[in-house]
Homo-oligomer: A and B are copies of this chain.
Amino acid sequence: MAGSTPKFRRQSAAARRRALIDATLRSLERHGREGASIRRISAIAGVSSGLIHHHFRSRARLIAAAYESLATELQETLYRESADHGGSPRERLSALIRASFAPSILEPRILNVWLVFWSMVMRAPSMRAVHDRTYRRYRSILGRLLQAVGRSRGMRVRARPAAIALSALLDGLWIELCLSPGTFRPTEAVMLCESWVDALCGGALPQLLQPRKRRS
């Protein structure tokens, strides 16, 4: 008899917000575009729909928070993976490239999540802000790594354009791999990125190097 089982458990605002963000990401993975609804998210989180309005004032704010969470978490994963294989800069970059095409990242479900976010970037200024901030950080990581790789090869790499190109190559390959996994294999994607880096280090991409000082 005793009402030993409470109907719900109270949690701190911070813990509940985190749980709701995680539920949002899981819902988007599972149901794609339709997973962005308040009712599906709250069902996965195991709470009532009203609770979302209590902690986030609107659905849009929850989605934006989830976007920020996913982006930073992914960057931390890639950065950690890179640092853990911490030999030369070139080895760290290779580790980051391989990690970008690891099975857990390639999960096509995850592309669904990004597509939902991207489709909101152009309509909601707050989403645009999240995108700009996280992508700048991403390119900064890539740029520093590329510069270090170049320096160890005696090359002065222009971080910004090099990072833009490599991130575009990584993203483009990743998207196509998620959209139709049968087109080519993840190892080919890794090879294509490594080849580009090798070409950069070999001086074959002169536009991406600092112009040599010319005397007189």
Q: A116-B119, A202-B204, A205-B199 are in contact. Are A168 and B183 (CB under 8 A)?
A: no
Point out which of A123, A169, A188, A206 has the most chain B C-beta atoms below 10 A from its C-beta.
A169
Instruction: Decide: B173 and A121 in contact? CB cutoff 8 A.
Output: no
Cross-chain contact of A207 among B173, B178, B195 (Cβ < 8 A): B195
| Contact pattern, A 184-200, Cβ under 8 Å of B = 1, otherwise 0 | 10001101100110110
Point out which of A109, A123, A172, A184 has the most chain B C-beta atoms below 10 A from its C-beta.
A172
Whole-angstrom distance between the alpha carbons of A16 and B82 in the complex? 55
Residues of B within 8 A of A207 (CB): 191-192, 195
Copies in the complex: 2
Whole-angstrom distance between the alpha carbons of A141 and B140 in the complex? 34
Q: A112-B122, A172-B169 are in contact. Are A131 and B164 (CB under 8 A)?
A: no
| Contact pattern, A 116-158, Cβ under 8 Å of B = 1, otherwise 0 | 1011011100001001100100000000000000000000000
Interface of A is mostly: helix
Whole-angstrom distance between the alpha carbons of A164 and B171 in the complex? 12
Residues of B within 8 A of A108 (CB): 122
10 contacts between A and B (CB under 8 A): A111-B122, A118-B175, A119-B119, A121-B180, A165-B173, A165-B195, A168-B171, A168-B173, A168-B189, A191-B207
Given contacts A121-B179, A135-B179, A170-B172, 15 further A-B contacts (CB under 8 A): A111-B118, A115-B119, A116-B119, A121-B180, A135-B180, A135-B183, A161-B192, A164-B184, A165-B173, A168-B168, A168-B176, A171-B171, A195-B205, A195-B206, A198-B204
